[in-house]
Structure 1
């Protein structure tokens, strides 16, 4: 286990018990406003954020959080050791694989006399499937179920100093692993060998996830989310590298193109222009500024200059803690009709692409404006160059 950024005396905890309890205290204020007596937390990211426990996806697990008193975890016994290592919550019901977890949730609510109260549920959860919700309602006929969507996502938008430390570490992994990919790229090299160099660097640098790269090359370099292939790099190829490492469940993002062989002057011109437009976007990212205004700085000019025929995707989105089954956080996105404003403490993945070239950064909003957490030089790299 990496103990460099662990809590003293509790190496499994990503944050101090006091920080977790501050999060819970703020969450309880929202529960009171929404007239929720007990909250059922089952989205994996929210379990990680409020309790420290990151469950496996095979069977249902959750936390019951009352307005006062200790929370109660309902977890698979196979994950009990992990829960004890990673979570500050002490009250835990562990079930065997032949038991029905939803029945244990209902039993816990009855045991603590919470079954006649209002129960907040995450209707926007990836885990509380319709069948599970229907089963819970059948088991708890006297419980008042209340939709608690959006609230936990909103609370997580504002990062604490320790969260920002983890994002900085993930950003450093992005930088160093991308350079490893640049060094490994050359004419005649299989793109999987490039990916292997990137993975090796990221894992050695502390990445704790195994899906930490999106990479394509040649004609597929403009398909940003395509799977890795078996291409052998050729003169004129573009290698698209997008880093998505996690550190203590916090993810940073970085995109850079690598030009194989002697680069075409037009490619370098397009790269320089995309970077300039994105730099103008970053310079405007101040607290209180409209997200739509930030988006327009890039989007409109890319289209006006003919760098793209259309621009249907977002130009940025929220970053922070990410757990399966999701890979990205779209609590906030940058679009022409975005109605929200930037605030200090928010972190975003800001990206743009055109004609097979893509650039992105992990951006923290501070009281003074945008700070780039990823620090790699902003340019198109050339394969096999001295770096």
Structure 2
């Protein structure tokens, strides 16, 4: 076991600033305490997250330092990763929701306004009902939107982690395309990518969708054991993480010589996405940016319908999350939100078995590609 706080991902000052901002939002809503139980947000405010094998929660008061409530077995890694001075542990046969409710009661919140996250994958209906039964005089309000908003704009330290992840994904993508060949399977490619992530310093976790690209809806295709053959399009979406922060990249590789139509399609997709990137700047609206790729692909006759997002926000994804992507801010026809400097997105465009994607950072004057892989159709 390392020293307390020895593995913290950020400086204490950054954690305190994050807590201070959510506390301002709490006071504006009249909340006396906030129960944070989504892993992404727990890590954002205290530096630690863990699976939902047992319920656990971070309690944030409207002023003062948060307190983590967790399983006793998880205390050792928590102490290395967290900056907080106080925490509460429970035994495996204790009821975690009752422990959290008892803590709130002891801290004087039994008749207070308690904020929760009604979009939380941890706060089941049963757990929410249990909190209300255990704290019958408390008033519960939803602060899911405030929690989602709190993580959208990245700090310099967060962006540094995503730059690191971008460097890893660029390198492994190049190595994978150089290694790919006829006769191997999609699962062989998965194994190669996984080893590459580890070799270049990425966290353990998802490799990303790797499949033969065909038609319009191939992006989430399965990896198969069949041998890749001449003429196949190898679709690669690689999604490494570094300290939990991800950067993502898609490229397509034709095994053999690409057709003229494939070359033209790839060039058009890359051009449309380049136009999309050129239009991104603070104040731009999500639907307008989305339309550049979505309508452009349809107008070019590359797809008859285009029903998936063309981009979504990127950030911290713990190993335990059920959200492999976060669509709180997504490029869609009805997206009325505006871009802000410091937001990071995974932007992607696809048609006819081919795809391009990049991880992009919104800057004060436009956007920057964090991923730097060559933007072309590859062939082997």
Shorter-chain TM-score bucket reads over 0.9
- In the alignment, the residues of structure 2 paired with residue 191 and residue 109 of structure 1 have an alpha-carbon distance, to the nearest angstrom, of 51
* Counterpart selection for 1:317 from 292, 309, 312: 312
Aligned to 1:242: 237
Cα distance in structure 2, aligned partners of 1:66 and 1:337:
36
Q: What is the CA distance between 1:219 and its match in structure 2? A: 4.6
2:213/2:354 contact within 8 Å kept: no
Quote the Cα distance in structure 2 between the aligned partners of 1:281 and 1:207. 29
The equivalent position to 1:147 in structure 2, one of 142, 150, 168, is: 142
1:175 lines up with 2:152 in the alignment: no
Q: Which residue of 1 aligns with 2:325?
A: 328
Indicate the residue corresponding to 1:95 in structure 2.
90
The alpha-carbon deviation at position 360 of structure 1 amounts to 0.3
In 1, Cα distance between the equivalents of 2:314 and 2:89? Answer: 32
Q: Could you say which residue in structure 2 is the equivalent of 1:379?
A: 376
Matching of residue 48 in structure 1 with residue 43 in structure 2: yes
Residue 339, structure 1, aligned to residue 336, structure 2: yes
What is the CA distance between 1:35 and its match in structure 2? 0.2
Q: Which runs of 5 or more residues in structure 1 are unaligned? A: none
Given the alignment of the two structures, is residue 261 of structure 1 paired with residue 263 of structure 2, yes or no? no
Tell me: CA distance 1:222–1:382, structure 2 relative to 1, closer, same or farther (3 Å): farther
Conserved 8 A contact 1:217-1:231:
no
Task: Deviation per CA, 1:52-108: give whole Å up to 9, x if none.
Answer: 111122110001111122322110111111110111112111111111101101111
Is 1:366 the equivalent of 2:357?
no
Q: What TM-score, normalized to structure 2?
A: 0.96
Partner-residue secondary structure (3-state), 2:175: helix
Given that 2:346 and 2:359 are in contact with CA atoms closer than 8 Å, whether structure 1 keeps it comes out as: yes
- After superposition, where does 1:1-387 map in structure 2 within 5 Å? 10-217=5-212, 219=214, 222-323=217-318, 324-383=321-380
- Which sits farther off after the overlay, 45-54 or 171-180? 171-180
Cα distance change of structure 1 residues 178 and 263 upon mapping to structure 2, 3 Å threshold: same
How far is the alpha carbon of 1:227 from its aligned partner?
A: 2.4
* Residue 212 (structure 1) shift: 2.3
Output one character per residue of 1:166-185: Cα deviation in whole Å (capped at 9) or x when no partner: 11111111111111221221
* CA root-mean-square deviation: 1.7
TM-score (norm 1): 0.94
Q: CA, structure 1 residues 112+10, in 2 after alignment: closer, same or farther (shift >3 Å)?
A: closer
* Distance (whole Å) between structure 2 residues aligned to residue 317 and residue 9 of structure 1: 35
Q: Distance in 1 between matches of 2:34 and 2:214?
A: 49
Equivalents in 1 of 2:326, 2:192: separation in Å?
27
Paired residue total: 378
C-alpha contact 2:4 2:81 (8 A) present in aligned 1: no
Contact 1:174–1:245 under 8 Å retained in 2: yes
Residue 192 of structure 1 deviates from its aligned partner by 2.0
After alignment, is 198-207 or 187-196 more displaced? 187-196
What is the CA–CA distance in structure 2 between the aligned matches of 1:74 and 1:134, rounded to whole Å? 19
Mapped partners of 1:270, 1:311: distance in 2: 15
Runs of 4+ residues deviating >4 angstroms: 218-222
Residue 222 of structure 1: how far off its partner (Å)? 4.7
Q: Bigger shift: 183-192 or 343-352?
A: 183-192
Task: Find the aligned partners of 2:271 and 2:186 in 1 and give their Cα distance.
Answer: 29
Contact 1:221 1:238 in 2 (8 A): no
Assess if the C-alpha contact under 8 Å between 1:221 and 1:240 holds in 2. no
